[in-house]
């Protein structure tokens, strides 16, 4: 029996994201970071015609593809130049995995193929969700592929390393309340 994926967001944050998606009714959806929110959005949004997801972790991509049986989902695996260290039994700040994740936000070469993949698909997207690794690089890449009037959402937007990127792209709207990871929405101006 397939594994039931749940969003890795607090229910408040997922409700905010779902409301933004349902309000904008995107036909072409792009996300970095596949998982439970992928399954939940596909289930709740029949108006999405094409759902492109980019994932960096091969084992997790297998879990997602074995758990979601929806022909609208196109999951693309693009692994990093250097593998992400395995999760330690006990997480501690400053550990190998934590350092790798921080490097993913500052070193464009580490996940260059991951961030660049959607540009090669020839699609203009109505909604972009950035919820994986290298979020600042993916936000920039997603913004370029977003149609005028489209929406970009970033999960965990409360992290200070994303502020400059969000402000450079436009007028970020940081949603409240939030518990685990704040949702930020940016609407691309009409042409």
**What's the token pair of residue 67?**
């758990």
pLDDT of 2 reads 61
pLDDT of 191 reads 74
Nearest to 153 by CA among 185, 123, 127: 185
pLDDT of 83 reads 94
Q: How far is CA 137 from CA 111, 154, 164, 169, in A?
A: 9, 12, 12, 12
* Rounded CA separation 34/54 (Å): 7
According to DSSP, the β-strands at 146-155 and 183-187 are antiparallel
pLDDT of 95 reads 86
* Reported pTM: 0.95
pLDDT of 89 reads 66
- Taken in order of first residue, the domains within the chain and their CATH numbers are 25-187 (3.40.50.150)
* Rounded CA separation 135/164 (Å): 12
**What's the token pair of residue 56?**
């960096």
In degrees and rounded to multiples of 5, residue 128 shows phi and psi of: -125, 125
* Rounded CA separation 99/110 (Å): 12
Nearest to 142 by CA among 185, 175, 109: 185
pLDDT of 87 reads 80
pLDDT along the chain (191 residues), means of 10: 83 98 98 97 98 97 96 98 84 81 96 98 98 98 98 97 95 96 97 74
pLDDT of 110 reads 98
């Amino acid at each position: 029996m397939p594994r039931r994926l749940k969003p890795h967001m607090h229910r408040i944050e997922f409700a905010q994201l779902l409301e933004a998606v349902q309000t904008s009714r995107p036909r072409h959806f792009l996300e970095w970071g596949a998982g439970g929110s992928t399954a939940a959005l596909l289930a709740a949004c029949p108006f999405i015609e094409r759902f492109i997801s980019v994932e960096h972790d091969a084992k997790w991509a297998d879990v997602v593809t074995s758990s979601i049986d929806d022909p609208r989902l196109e999951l693309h695996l693009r692994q990093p130049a250097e593998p992400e260290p395995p999760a330690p039994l006990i997480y501690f700040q400053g550990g190998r995995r934590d350092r790798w994740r921080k490097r993913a936000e500052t070193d464009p070469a580490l996940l260059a193929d991951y961030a660049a993949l959607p540009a090669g698909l020839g699609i203009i997207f109505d909604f972009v969700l950035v919820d994986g690794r290298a979020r600042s690089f993916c936000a920039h890449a997603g913004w370029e592929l977003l149609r005028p009037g489209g929406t970009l959402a970033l999960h965990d937007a409360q992290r200070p390393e994303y502020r400059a990127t969000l402000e450079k792209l436009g007028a970020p709207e940081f949603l409240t309340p939030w518990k685990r990871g704040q949702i930020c929405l940016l609407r691309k101006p009409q042409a």
